[in-house]
């Protein structure tokens, strides 16, 4: 093997190893702890969700506080009788947001900034883990697509019941802006 072939073979082997290690590298680079961003994530999500002390029906079940559909104190879905205060609502949101945050970290295979992690965690909190996991947004992000192409996917998630929802338009605009910052 001549020198040129050795160099090409070396580069190819290096590229293959990096591709194989991509998830581990991304995990190491995206290793922001929840504690480091929990206040920021709470502020982002709570500003979109608003506070409701009394449960309300939200198409898939009762929600209360800052959009929680799970009663973390009694380990069950929110019921119509679950009236809560702001401190309890914050605690419930942070417990759920921590799960969404960890889920996003586990699904992203490329290095991202803390702001991108916050935006994606807010997005996952709102649309749900399954929707996030099957989204073109995540697929494009993990494929290494241009950041603006990825960010444009936020604009697709503005429908509720088949109709554009003004609140979702505003939320996605803010998440997209955070993602690009």
Q: Are residues 154 and 135 in the same domain?
A: yes
Answer whether residue 110 shows pLDDT above 90: yes
Q: Quick one: 22 and 91 in the same domain?
A: no
49, 96, 130, 175: the catalytic one is 49
Instruction: For residues 24 and 49, state if they share a domain.
Output: no
Domain membership of residue 122 as a residue range: 32-180
Report d(CA 77, CA 69) in Å as an integer: 6
Q: Is this model's pTM higher than 0.85 or not?
A: no
The reply to whether 169 and 92 lie within a common domain is: yes
- Of residues 149 and 11, more confidence is placed in 149
pLDDT, the chain, mean: 86
Cα–Cα–Cα angle for 77, 156, 39, nearest 5°? 50
Question: Are 22 and 110 members of one domain?
Answer: no
For 119-177, how does the pLDDT look when each residue is reduced to its tens digit (9 = 90+)? 999 999 899 999 999 999 999 999 999 999 999 999 999 998 899 999 999 999 999 99
* 25 and 88 both lie in a single domain: no
Give the pLDDT band (50/70/90) at residue 43: confident
Q: With bands split at pLDDT 50, 70 and 90, how would you rate the model's confidence at 18?
A: low
State the Cα–Cα distance between residues 147 and 110, nearest whole angstrom.
12
* Active-site residue flag, 49: yes
Query: What is the structure's pLDDT at 39?
Result: 80
pLDDT digits (tens, 9 = 90+) for 79-106: 999 999 999 999 999 888 888 889 999 9
Band of pLDDT at residue 179, cut at 50, 70 and 90? very high
Kindly report the CATH number assigned to the domain that includes residue 76.
1.10.530.40
Q: CA 143 → CA 32, 38, 111, 125, 173, distances in Å?
A: 21, 28, 12, 22, 23
Are residues 99 and 138 located together in one domain of the fold? yes
How many domains in the chain?
2
Nearest to 132 by CA among 147, 110, 154, 148: 154
Quickly state the pLDDT bin for 17 (edges 50, 70, 90).
low
Same structural domain for residues 17 and 74? no
Do 89 and 159 lie in one domain? The reply is yes
Residues 64 and 150 in one domain: yes
Residues 71 and 23 in one domain: no
């Amino acid at each position: 093997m001549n020198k040129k072939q050795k160099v090409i073979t070396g580069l190819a082997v290096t590229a293959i190893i990096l591709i194989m290690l991509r998830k581990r590298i991304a995990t190491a680079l995206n290793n922001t702890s929840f504690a480091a961003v929990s206040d920021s994530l709470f502020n982002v999500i709570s500003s979109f969700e608003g506070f409701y002390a009394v449960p309300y029906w939200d198409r898939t079940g009762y929600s209360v506080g800052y959009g929680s559909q799970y009663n973390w104190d009694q380990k069950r879905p929110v019921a119509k009788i679950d009236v809560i205060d702001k401190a309890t609502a914050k605690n419930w949101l942070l417990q759920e947001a921590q799960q969404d945050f960890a889920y996003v970290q586990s699904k992203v295979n490329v290095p991202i900034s803390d702001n991108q992690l916050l935006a994606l965690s807010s997005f996952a909190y709102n649309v749900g883990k399954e929707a996030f996991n099957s989204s073109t947004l995540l697929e494009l992000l993990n494929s290494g697509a241009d950041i603006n192409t990825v960010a444009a996917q936020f604009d697709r998630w503005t429908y509720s019941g088949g109709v554009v929802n003004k609140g979702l338009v505003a939320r996605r605009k803010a998440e997209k802006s955070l993602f690009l910052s």
